[in-house]
Amino acid sequence: MKIEVRNITKRFGTFTALDNVSMEVPSGTLVALLGPSGSGKTTLLRIIAGLEQADAGNVLLDEVDCTQRALRERGVGFVFQHYALFRHMNVFNNVAFGLKARPRGTRPEKVEIHERVFRLLRLVQLDQFHDRYPSQLSGGQRQRVALARALAIEPRVLLLDEPFGSLDAQVRKELRRWLRRLHDELHITSVFVTHDQEEAMEVADNVAVMDAGHIEQTGTPEAVYHHPSNAFVHKFIGDVNLFRGRMVNGSLRLDQKEAESGRPNEVFVRPHSFRLTQAPDGPDCFQATVEHINPARPLVKVELLSEWGGAVQVDIPHQTYQELQLERGMTIYVTPTQFKVF
Amino acid sequence: MPPNSYISNAGRRAVQDPKAARWLLTGVAVIFLLLFLVLPVLLVFVGALAEGVGAYLRALRQPDALSAIWLTLAVAAVAVPLNTIFGVAAAWAIAKFQFRGKGFVVTLIDLPLSVSPVISGLVYVLLFGARGYFGPWLAEHNVQIIFALPGIILVTLFVTVPYVARELIPLMQEQGADEEEAAVMLGASGWRTFWTITLPNIKWGLIYGVIQCNARAMGEFGAVSVVSGHIRGKTNTLPLQVEILYNEYSFTAAFAIASLLALLALLTLVIKHAVEWQARRAYSRPQEENVA
C-alpha cells in the first residue's frame, strides 16, 4: 500500500506545525520521519493515521483519498509512543481487541481469534505472557504487545510513534533490529517517527528529515548522510564540525580573516574527513593544538583547538594516531579532505 | 560515645516527636472524634430506641414516614442517574477534548458547592413559583413545579451536580485519551470504546462519585425545604420529616426517621471504604503479582 501525502498544512492556534508538506512512501518500504522535537513529525504521522485533521491537503492510500474517510475504515495500524495498552485487559485481550471489535459479519470465530492472537504473540515472542496485564510487563514487552495488537487487524499501513522512545539503550538496540527483521518478513508499508538519527539510519529504507514543519530532505540513509541537501540536514545527521569560511581560487580558507571578511559560508566537515600532518600540507590546511585524546574507541577521538580558537573534533585510525605520536598540547596541521559548503 | 549508640540511633527516624507528645496528640484527636462525631450518631440511635423497638418500628410505619421514605427514594432515583450521565458526559468532554470556555464550565460545575442550598432553592422559586418568571404560564397549563415533586427533584439535581463530574475529571485527565484513540484505530465504534475501554478505567471513581451524589441527594435539607412546601405525606422528604416531628416534640419518631438517615450515612461510609480499597487493589495488584 502506497502512502501519499499532498500539501498538508496544519496549525495549532498561531503555531504552524506543518507547512505544505508533501511526501510519498512507496509500497512495502519502511520510512523514518526524523527530526528534532517540535519539527512536526508526530503531527504528520497522526494526520496520516487520521487521528488529527489537516487544515489543508490530502492523504492518499493507494491513490484513494482518505482525508474524509472515517478512522476505522482506513485500515491503519498505529503504535503509540507510550503504548496505550488497555490496562484492564490482559495481553491476549489486548491483541484480540481489534478482531472482537469487528462488525458481526466480518468478525472471525472465537477459535480463529484465539489462533490468530497466538500466532501474533509467537511472532512477538510473548505467547507465554498471554495472561499477564500490561503493568506486569517490561517496557520492551509492552512495546511488542502494542505492535502485535496493531498487526492483529491486518493493517495495510503500520504507523509507529517514537516506537523505542521510552526504552533504555540496550533494549532499544535489540528491538530496533527486531523491527527491521519483522518488516523484512511482513513487508507492510511502515512509517515511524524518531528523533534519534542512529535509529532512523539503522532501521529505515528511506529517511525524511523534518524541521520546523517542513521536510528538508528525503532519501536513503546513505544519501542523507553523504549528500545532505542543506545545512540543517548536515548539522542534524551525524557528527559534524561547523566552520565559517569560503572557497578562494579553488582552495578552502577557514581562517579567522576569511570568516570576518564579507559573507562567509558555512563549511561542514565530518570528524573522519580530516588529514593530520606534522608539517604544513597544502593551501587548505590550518594549525591546531591537541586538547584531548580518547583512544578507547574504534577510532581515536581527538579534540583540537584551531589557530583561531575554535574547537574541532577529529576521528583518526589508531595506526595514524601511533604514527603521529599525538600528545596533549602538541601542534598539528589539519587538512579537511571532504567537506560541504552551504 | 560507644559505637553502639550510633547503631541504636540509626533505627530511629531523624525527625520524631517524643512519645508523650505523640500520645497527647493522638489522644486529643480521638477524644475529639468520639465527642463530636461518634457520640452524636450513637445518640440518634439511643433516642430512636428510647421507647423500645416496638415504638421505633411503629414510628417508621406511620403513613407520613412511609411517604417521606418513598419520596426520598424517588427523588434520588431520578436525580442520581441523571447526574451520573451528566457527570460522565461532562468529565469526558472536559478531559478528552479541547474547547473554548473549558475553565468556565469547570467553575460552573462547582457552583452548587459554593452557593448556599437555600439560595439554590430560592432561585427555583423565583423561576417557577406562582410569582416567578414562568409561574403564570405554568399555572395556565396546570403544571405545578414548586411545592411538588418536580421542584424537589430540580433542586436536588442542582445541588448534586458536582459530585460525579468532580470525581471523574481529574481521573480522566490523568488517563488521557490514548487508550480511546488506540481502540478507535483498532476499529471500535465510539459506543464500544466507551463501554469496553473508558468505563472500566473509570469504574471505581464513578462508583465513588455516585455514592457521594446519592448521599447528598437523600440528605439535602436546605434547598428542598425552600421548594417543598412541607405538605405532610406529600412533599416531605426524610430530612424535612425529621424537622417537623422534632418541632412537634415527637422525639422518638424524629429520631427514628433520623436513624434511617444515619444508617444511610454509615452505609455510604462502608461502601466508600470498600470502593477505595478495591480501587487501590485494582491499581496495585499487578505489581504484587509481578514480585511473586
Contact A78 B187 (CB under 8 A): no
Taking the Cβ of residue A152 and every Cβ of chain B, the question of whether any pair is shorter than 8 Å is answered with: yes
Asked whether the beta carbons of residue B186 and residue A152 sit closer than 8 angstroms, the reply is yes
Confidence of residue B157 (pLDDT cuts 50, 70, 90): very high
Q: Does A11 touch chain B (CB under 8 A)?
A: no
Which residue among B185, B286, B287 sits closest to A71, beta carbon to beta carbon?
Answer: B185
Which of B192, B201, B287 faces A87 most closely, judged by CB atoms?
Answer: B201
Per CB distance under 8 Å, which residues of B are interface residues toward A?
A: 178-179, 181-189, 192, 196-197, 200-201, 282, 286-287, 289-290
Contact B188 A51 (CB under 8 A): no
Distance between A290 CA and the closest CA of chain B, angstroms: 52
B178 interaction partners in chain A (CB closer than 8 Å): 80, 82, 84
Residue A107 has pLDDT above 50, yes or no: yes
Which residues of chain B have a CB within 8 Å of the CB of A80? 178, 181-182
**In terms of DSSP H, where are the helices of A7-128?**
41-49, 91-100, 110-123
ipTM: 0.78
Candidate from A71, A136, A150 with C-beta closest to B184: A71
C-alpha cell at A261: 571578511
For range A318-331, the mean pLDDT: 86
Cβ A342 vs Cβ A228: under 8 Å: no
> Which CATH class for the B52-291 domain?
mainly alpha
Flag if B201 and A88 touch (Cβ within 8 Å): yes
Higher-confidence residue of A186 and B292: namely: A186
The answer to whether the CB atoms of B186 and A153 lie below 8 A apart is yes
Judge: A84–B182 Cβ closer than 8 Å, yes or no: yes
If one compares A70 and B240, the residue with the highest pLDDT of the two is B240
Of the partner residues B179, B185, B287, the one whose CB lies closest to the CB of residue A78: B185
Residue of B nearest to A96 (CA): B186
The predicted pLDDT at position B3 comes to 47
Residue ranges with strand state E in chain A: 3-12, 15-25, 30-34, 56-61, 64-65, 76-79, 157-161, 189-194, 206-211, 214-219, 241-248, 251-253, 265-269, 274-277, 286-294, 300-306, 311-316, 331-336, 340-341
* Greater pLDDT, A258 or A170: A170
DSSP one-letter string for A186-242? H--EEEEEES-HHHHHHH-SEEEEEETTEEEEEE-HHHHHHS-SSHHHHHHSS--EE
Give dist(CA B114, CA B256) in Å, integer. Answer: 31
Q: By the 8 A CB rule, do B40 and B248 touch? A: no
Nearest CA in chain A to B178: A84
Q: Is the pLDDT at A67 greater than 90, yes or no?
A: no
Q: What are the grid coordinates assigned to B28, written together?
A: 486529643
Best B97, B171, B185 member to test A by mutation, with max A CBs in 10 Å, is B185
**pTM of the predicted model, to two decimals?**
0.75
Q: Which residues of A touch B174 (CB under 8 A)?
A: none
Q: Give B63-97 pLDDT, tens digit per residue.
A: 988 999 999 999 999 999 999 999 999 999 998 88
Cβ proximity of B201 and A88 under 8 Å: yes
CB atoms closer than 10 angstroms to residue B33: 11
Chain A residues whose beta carbon lies within 8 Å of the beta carbon of residue B187: 72, 98, 101-102, 153
* B27 vs B218: CA distance, rounded Å: 34
Tens of pLDDT, residue by residue over A296-317, are 988 899 998 888 778 889 898 9
Q: Under an 8 A CB cutoff, do B186 and A71 touch?
A: no
Q: How confident is the model at residue B282 (pLDDT cuts 50, 70, 90)?
A: low
Is residue A213's pLDDT more than 70? yes
Q: Which residues contact B134 (CB under 8 A, 6 or more apart)?
A: B127, B128
Which 8-state DSSP code applies to residue A37?
A: T
Contacts of B189 in chain A (CB under 8 A): 72, 101
Q: Is the Cβ pair A101, B201 closer than 8 Å?
A: no
In angstroms, the Cα distances linking A14 to A11, A17, A18, A54, A185 are: 7, 9, 12, 15, 43
Chain B: nearest CA to A78, how far in angstroms? 7
Alpha-carbon separation of residue B143 from A131, B1, B148, B151 (angstroms): 59, 88, 10, 11
Contacts of A77 in chain B (CB under 8 A): 185
**Residues in chain A within 8 Å Cβ distance of B182:** 78, 80, 84-86, 149
* pLDDT at res. B29: 94
pLDDT at position A115 is 92
Maximum separation of any 2 CA atoms in chain B, in Å: 95
Per CB-CB distance under 8 Å, the chain A contacts of B181 are 51, 78, 80, 84
Domain residue ranges of chain B, discontinuous segments joined by +? 1-48, 52-291
Rounded Cα distance, A121 and A129, in Å: 9
Q: pLDDT category, A249, cuts 50, 70, 90?
A: low
Inspect the interface and report whether the beta carbons of A98 and B201 lie closer than 8 Å: no
Average pLDDT, chain A: 86
Inter-chain Cβ pairs, chain A and chain B, closer than 8 A: 65
Listed range (A138-152, A207-221, B225-239) with the worst mean pLDDT: B225-239
Distance of CA B26 to the CA centre of its chain: 29
The top-scoring range by mean pLDDT among A247-256, A320-329, B61-70, B135-144 is B61-70
H or E element in which residue B139 lies: helix B135-140
| Cα(B67)–Cα(B177) distance, integer angstroms | 46
What the block records as the C-alpha cell of A116 is 490468530
* 281-320 of A, contacting B, C-beta below 8 A: none
How many whole angstroms separate alpha carbon B96 and alpha carbon B175? 9
Q: Phi and psi at residue A289, in whole multiples of 5°?
A: -110, 150
- Strand-pair partners of A302: A293, A314
| pLDDT tens digits for range B247-276 | 988 888 899 999 999 998 888 889 888 888
A66 shares contact with chain B (CB less than 8 Å)? no
> So what's the pLDDT on residue B284?
55
Percent above pLDDT 90 for chain B: 36
**For an interface test with B, which of A53, A72, A89, A141 has the most B Cβ atoms less than 10 Å from its Cβ?**
A72
- Give the pLDDT score at B291: 35
| Confidence (pLDDT) at B287 | 41
A 67-96 residues with CB < 8 A to B: 71-72, 76-78, 80, 82, 84-88
CA of B198 to nearest chain A CA: how many angstroms apart?
10
